[in-house]
Amino acid sequence: MALFDKLDLARMLGPLPDRAAPVAHGARHFVNGQPLDPPFPVGTEDVFFGMGCFWGAERKFWQAGDGVHVTAVGYAGGTTRNATYEDVCTGRTGHAEVVRVVYFPAALSFDSLLKLFWESHDPTQGMRQGNDVGTQYRSAIYTTTPAQRAAAEASRAAYQRVLTDAGYGAITTQIAPAPPFFYAEAYHQQYLAKNPGGYCGLGGTGVACPAGPLGA
């Protein structure tokens, strides 16, 4: 089904109802053994990145360095509480597939996470990422502090300039305060560590994101 047909059908049918209980998502990170659920250590912050299929996206961030405390995948930005993967794939929940990144800002700067985000996918594709098509594959940054949001918006402007120079169109990335986050099913968590030969559709533009404070 074409993307616009699917979007039109989703709009016609309306949002899916909430589910009463969250899906079982497991207790600990498969790679580093840290608890997936809060409370998280004092001194950490979290942020949520949507950049296409969350399998490859999560791997990018758990490999980002010792400053990352834990990562987890789930759904955010939609209307259906406790949505399942099957629910999200209908396009009727409004959710994006996202990675929760819990990190220590004293050890790993937010600007470095933003650089990894921008360079690891194509943020100009709208409701898709490569061959993955649908609302859940949109590009998004859901922030948890005003400073994060300001940095994200500044880096978007900086990256737009270099993308434009390289012949790309407008960035479609949504930047907004973090909405409710719903963990994805246990088999999605750290999927590419459990299945090293698994599918990863992640691919960047090859255009470097400007480095420095706030992407300047």
Q: Return the domain boundaries, the chain.
A: 3-10+45-199
- Residues classed as catalytic: 53
Distance CA 183, CA 84 (A): 9
Task: Please state the pTM of the whole predicted model.
Answer: 0.94
Phi-psi region at 213: left, alpha or beta (left = phi > 0; alpha = psi -120 to 50): beta
Q: What is the pLDDT of residue 196?
A: 93
Work out the number of other CB atoms within 10 angstroms of the CB of residue 210. Answer: 15
Q: Mind giving me the DSSP string for the chain?
A: --HHHHHHHHHHH-PPPPPSSPPP--SB-TTT--BSSSPPPTT-EEEEEEESSHHHHHHHHHTS-TTEEEEEEEEESSS-TT--HHHHHTT-S-PEEEEEEEE-TTTS-HHHHHHHHHHTS-TTSSSEETTEESGGG-EEEEESSHHHHHHHHHHHHHHHHHHHHTT------EEEE---EEEPPGGGTTHHHHSTT--------SPPPPPSGGG-
What CATH number does the domain located at 3-10+45-199 have? 3.30.1060.10
Q: Pull the structure tokens for residue 68.
A: 């990352």
Digit-by-digit pLDDT tens for the chain (216 residues) are 566 566 666 677 789 999 999 999 999 999 999 999 999 999 999 999 999 999 999 999 999 999 999 999 999 999 999 999 999 999 999 999 999 999 999 999 999 999 999 999 999 999 999 999 999 999 999 999 999 999 999 999 999 999 999 999 999 999 999 999 999 999 999 999 999 999 998 999 999 998 654 444
Is residue 190 within 8 Å of 30, Cβ to Cβ?
yes
